[in-house]
């Protein structure tokens, strides 16, 4: 697998392909970052971008994880004190999940976002941005129906972070794309350089396959879950025997979240998946890549129930180090 392929593997979107190819030509020492609002316990959403960071490290990138305490504060996630406490725990869990400690720099947003120069740049960015544009950028991120002024500042700070952390690539889930597009427009206004962005897919809601697996509502899987809980959640997941389910009764597009978890969480981290299966149904199966597993589910050679139990085992193995760290 060449560098470009590794870097863009499983990406939902890359902006722009040309800019990323340039980075891939000489990835050593290039810098990438993801920002997270500290939430204490890592869930699959965090782990999806973390997996991408691990792949970037394999490609030679230096990785910065922004523990965005100021952003969390602006998004009404609690007091600074509370937020910083959870940031510490989160950092430990990222390392437990597999981010290489020697190649990863953890930065607290408040370490630089309150500096005078940053603040003046922020005001400059505010001057360049209409309220409706900022609101649009925040639509996927904000909590609550009614946007606060703090939430209008939030995406502008993300734009500045790209400059102030001196990164070559901004990484995030697809829900960050409007913020990154705003950043690409805003940075040049302040005479800063535009950086490319890479977006990971968003895993569908486990129960329905519709929309995104939200941590706030519905079922999510985190390092806090016990093995039994994960088994139960995966077993309850929506899983028709196809990768491309029909829309639901309301015409909403549906995905197969079980396959998505294999594709985006398991196979990037695991060489071979063994599906244990009773002799009655044909005995064990082994998969070296996602495509074969998907094809077997599609053809009926792999029953969803067997796919689920193997998935639960794989997820449990991936989460185990973090779980131990959490219980330490």
User: Interface with RNA by CB under 7 A: which residues?
Assistant: 146, 207-208, 235-241, 248-249, 277-278, 281-282, 303-306, 308
| Nearest to RNA of 26, 248 (CB atom) | 248
Instruction: Quickly count: other Cβ atoms within 10 Å of residue 33's Cβ.
Output: 25
Q: Give Dmax (Cα) for the chain.
A: 69
**Residue 225 Cβ, how far from RNA at the closest point, in Å?**
15
**Residue 226 Cβ, how far from RNA at the closest point, in Å?**
16
**Residue 19 Cβ, how far from RNA at the closest point, in Å?**
39
Q: In what order do the strands lie in the sheet with 13-15?
A: 13-15, 197-200, 169-173, 31-36, 62-67, 104-108
| Nearest to RNA of 68, 138 (CB atom) | 138
**Residue 238 Cβ, how far from RNA at the closest point, in Å?**
4
In this structure, what token pair is assigned to residue 171? 């990484």
Report the C-alpha gap between 283 and 109 in whole angstroms: 51
Residue 290 annotated as lining a ligand binding site: no
The CA–CA distances, whole Å, from 178 to 35, 172, 174, 253, 281 equal 15, 11, 9, 21, 47
| Nearest to RNA of 188, 282 (CB atom) | 282
Report the C-alpha gap between 69 and 92 in whole angstroms: 16
**Residue 173 Cβ, how far from RNA at the closest point, in Å?**
23
| Nearest to RNA of 95, 219 (CB atom) | 219
Residue 154 annotated as lining a ligand binding site: yes
Q: Is 171 within 8 Å of 53 (Cβ atoms)?
A: yes
Supply the DSSP string of 291-317, one letter for each residue: HHHHHHHHHTSS-HHHHHHHHHHHHHH
Residue 325 annotated as lining a ligand binding site: no
| Nearest to RNA of 191, 246 (CB atom) | 246
| Known binding-site positions for ATP | 215
| Known binding-site positions | 33, 154, 158, 161, 176, 215
């Amino acid at each position: 697998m060449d560098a470009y392929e590794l870097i863009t593997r499983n990406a939902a979107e890359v902006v722009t392909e040309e800019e990323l190819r340039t980075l891939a030509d000489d990835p050593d020492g290039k810098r990438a970052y993801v920002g997270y609002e500290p939430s204490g316990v890592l869930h699959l959403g965090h782990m999806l971008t973390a997996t991408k960071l691990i792949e970037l490290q394999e490609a030679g990138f230096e990785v910065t994880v922004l523990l965005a305490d100021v952003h969390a504060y602006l998004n009404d996630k609690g007091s600074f004190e509370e937020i910083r406490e959870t940031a510490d725990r989160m950092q430990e869990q990222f390392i437990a999940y597999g981010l290489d400690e020697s190649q990863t720099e953890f930065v607290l947003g408040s370490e630089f976002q309150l500096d005078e120069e940053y603040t003046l740049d922020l005001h400059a960015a505010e001057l360049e941005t209409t309220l409706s544009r900022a609101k649009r950028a925040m639509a996927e991120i904000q909590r609550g129906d009614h946007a606060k002024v703090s939430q209008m500042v939030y995406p502008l700070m993300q734009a500045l972070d790209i400059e102030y952390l001196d990164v070559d690539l901004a990484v995030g889930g697809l829900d960050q794309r409007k913020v990154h597009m705003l950043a690409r427009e805003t940075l040049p206004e302040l005479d800063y350089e535009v950086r490319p962005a890479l977006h990971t897919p968003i895993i569908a809601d486990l129960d329905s396959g519709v929309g995104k697996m939200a941590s706030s509502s519905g079922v999510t899987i985190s390092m806090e879950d016990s093995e039994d809980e994960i088994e139960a959640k995966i077993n309850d997941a929506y899983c028709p025997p196809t990768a491309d389910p029909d829309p639901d009764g309301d015409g909403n597009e549906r995905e197969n979240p079980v396959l998505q978890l294999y594709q985006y969480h398991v196979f990037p981290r695991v060489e071979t998946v063994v599906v244990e299966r009773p002799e009655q149904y044909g005995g064990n199966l082994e998969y070296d890549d996602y495509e074969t597993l998907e094809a077997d589910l599609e053809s009926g050679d792999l029953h969803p129930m067997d796919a689920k139990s193997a998935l639960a085992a794989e997820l449990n193995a991936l989460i185990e180090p973090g779980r131990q760290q959490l219980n330490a």
